[in-house]
């Protein structure tokens, strides 16, 4: 729909005040009023604090159930799912699988403090910041048969490239007769389980206290000391990803702090979390990178730096547009200079070797400048928010509540299925109880879907999209 058409529609609804605020040069009070309304809309769209916390709790419990039943490794949900910022079927899940019995340590760590059955690799950080090579220091009692490479000095290196090949081969031995082979995409391996899709990255635990202490000792306004302590205690991992610009990237590993970063994002307040989601919407819907030149991870780091450098009490609903423009200016600088320090290891530049072309840089800098100059009107360029602004507030609130009801039921259903699959008790009893419970949830979802369909028909809408809600329930039933 053309922008003028949107303007006309908006004047025909109860959102005239929002529309006029978005379309004029206005006072600080006007901008603050729009900020509050956008925060409210984001809650209606499924990014409120209550549903966010329920999602986080669900994924933590599911990881706990799976890890209780799986001994070779440890499952950890990371990314937007672990942060509670996407609904169940909104995107694929990102998961780390940490192999048990293997550890990477930085120089100076006393191996006598590490149990003898652990296979140990020593970090060689004389590569691009935030990366390392892994030299075998000690074989454990359950040594994995991963191939090693010699560096010409008698050191045996664990190659990230060979390691990924070996992991892929091991996985495919288990699916030769049960389904199509796994196909790697970069360091991740797509997988489907219990009706959900996930990108799994196999990784190795890393003990690097000096790196974490440098981060912890930084002068900051956020997060509070207890959260800093928790992040340090969660440690780090190394993932099989070398630096893009390195000739020897197949030998290199990336130092990551996924668990700590999840803890940081879950400690952002409601406004900061919504700001992060809006920033992702802008990149996806307005800038539209085609080759991951700007990733959600870049945006996460912008939000974390912003949070660290400003008092938490300044991130209030009325200031949302102000902080959005602040984040956009940081993103514009990162694009124009191809420089953005990694929040955990500032020496690593997240924009290095990102593949940005000069023409693309100029266009995105111009686009972001235009968005900033348009003030709160930038919100209208995001389809989800645009449609919510146009919509009448009462139906939007009603549909939002129904959507949340269905998602919460879906969360409960998925947790029940994960627990059933992982429990070691009486399998038949567990399955029968789960089927009864799931069927009751499906019946409830069906009632809500019928209610939504009836209202949509009464208001002259189509019920085609409602089938998507019901398909959530059907998707879960297939795995039984």
For the residues of 73-85, what is the DSSP string, one character each? EEEEEEHHHHTT-
pLDDT at 457: 67
Q: What pLDDT shows up at residue 42?
A: 92
Which residues, 6 or more positions from 213, have their beta carbon under 8 angstroms from its beta carbon? 232
Mean pLDDT by 10 residues, the chain (480 residues): 33 38 59 90 90 92 85 90 87 88 94 92 96 92 74 88 87 59 75 74 96 98 98 97 92 97 98 97 94 95 98 96 96 97 98 92 96 86 82 68 79 77 59 77 80 69 46 41
Q: Is the Cβ–Cβ distance between 129 and 353 less than 8 Å?
A: no
Assign 205 to helix, strand or coil: strand
- Name the phi and psi angles at 26, rounded to 5: -140, 175
Instruction: List Cβ neighbours of 271 (8 Å cut-off, separation of 6 or more).
Output: 39, 315, 316, 317, 319, 320, 323
Distance, CA of 447 to chain centre:
32
* Dist CA 229 CA 226 (whole Å): 5
Coil, helix or strand at residue 229: helix
Q: What is the 8-class DSSP label of residue 480?
A: -
- For residues 235 and 206, is the Cβ–Cβ distance under 8 A? yes
Measured CA to CA, the distance from residue 173 to residue 189 in angstroms comes to 15
Instruction: State the pLDDT at residue 92.
Output: 78
Instruction: State the pLDDT at residue 460.
Output: 61
Residue 162, token pair as written in the block: 């060979």
Q: Which segments of 241-293 are extended strands (E)?
A: 252-256
Q: Smallest Cα–Cα separation from 407: which of 41, 52, 4?
A: 52
pTM of the model: 0.83
Question: What ranges make up the beta strands (E) of 153-219?
Answer: 156-158, 188-193, 196-207
Distance CA 215, CA 221 (A): 13
pLDDT tens, residue by residue, 289-299: 988 899 999 99
- Cα–Cα nearest to 316, from 275, 372, 282, 264: 275
Give the C-alpha distances (Å, rounded to integers) separating 470 from 45, 156, 415, 441, 452.
18, 54, 18, 11, 11
Q: What angle do CA 175, 87, 65 make, to 5 degrees?
A: 50
- Which alpha helices (H) appear in 374-478, and where do they start and end? 383-390, 393-422, 427-458, 466-478
Tokens representing residue 311 in the block:
């008092």
């Amino acid at each position: 729909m053309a922008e003028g058409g949107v303007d006309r529609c908006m004047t025909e609804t109860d959102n005239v005040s929002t529309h006029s605020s978005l379309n004029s040069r206005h006072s600080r009070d006007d901008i603050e009023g729009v900020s509050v309304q956008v925060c409210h809309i984001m809650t209606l769209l499924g990014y409120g604090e209550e549903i966010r916390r329920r999602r986080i709790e669900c994924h933590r419990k599911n990881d706990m159930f799976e890890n209780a039943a799986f001994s070779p490794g440890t499952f950890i949900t990371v990314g937007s799912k672990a942060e509670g910022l996407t609904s169940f079927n909104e995107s694929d899940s990102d998961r780390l699988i940490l192999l048990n019995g293997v550890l990477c340590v930085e120089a100076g760590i006393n191996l006598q403090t590490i149990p003898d059955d652990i296979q140990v690799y020593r970090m060689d950080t004389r590569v691009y910041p935030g990366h390392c090579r892994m030299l075998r220091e000690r074989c454990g009692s359950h040594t994995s048969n991963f191939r090693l490479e010699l560096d010409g000095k008698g050191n045996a290196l664990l190659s990230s490239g060979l390691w990924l090949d070996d992991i892929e081969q091991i996985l495919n031995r288990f699916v030769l007769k049960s389904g199509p082979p796994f196909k790697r995409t970069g360091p991740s391996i797509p997988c489907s389980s219990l009706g959900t899709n996930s990108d799994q990255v196999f990784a190795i635990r890393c003990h690097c206290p000096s790196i974490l202490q440098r981060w912890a000792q930084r002068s900051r306004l956020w997060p509070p000391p207890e959260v800093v302590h928790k992040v340090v205690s969660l440690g780090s991992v190394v993932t099989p990803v070398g630096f893009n610009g390195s000739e020897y990237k197949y030998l290199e590993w990336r130092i990551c702090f996924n668990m700590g970063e999840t803890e940081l994002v879950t400690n952002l307040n409601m406004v900061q979390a919504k700001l992060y989601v809006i920033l992702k919407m802008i990149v996806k819907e307005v800038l539209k990178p085609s080759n991951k030149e700007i990733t959600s991870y870049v945006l996460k780091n912008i939000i974390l730096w912003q949070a660290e450098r400003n008092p938490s009490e300044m991130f209030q609903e009325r200031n949302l547009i102000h902080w959005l423009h602040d984040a956009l200016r940081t993103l514009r600088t990162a694009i124009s200079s191809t420089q953005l320090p990694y929040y955990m290891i500032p020496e690593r530049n997240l924009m290095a070797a990102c593949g940005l072309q000069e023409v693309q840089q100029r266009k995105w800098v111009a686009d972001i400048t235009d968005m900033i100059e348009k003030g709160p009107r930038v919100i209208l360029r995001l389809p989800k928010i645009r449609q919510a602004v146009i919509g009448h507030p009462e139906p939007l609130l009603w549909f939002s509540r129904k959507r949340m009801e269905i998602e919460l039921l879906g969360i409960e259903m998925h947790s029940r299925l994960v627990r059933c699959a992982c429990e070691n008790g009486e399998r038949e009893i567990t399955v029968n109880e789960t089927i009864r419970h799931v069927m009751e949830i499906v019946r409830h979802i069906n009632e809500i879907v019928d209610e939504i369909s009836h209202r949509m028909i009464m208001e002259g809408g189509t019920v085609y999209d409602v089938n998507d809600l019901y398909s959530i329930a059907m998707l879960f039933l297939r795995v039984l």
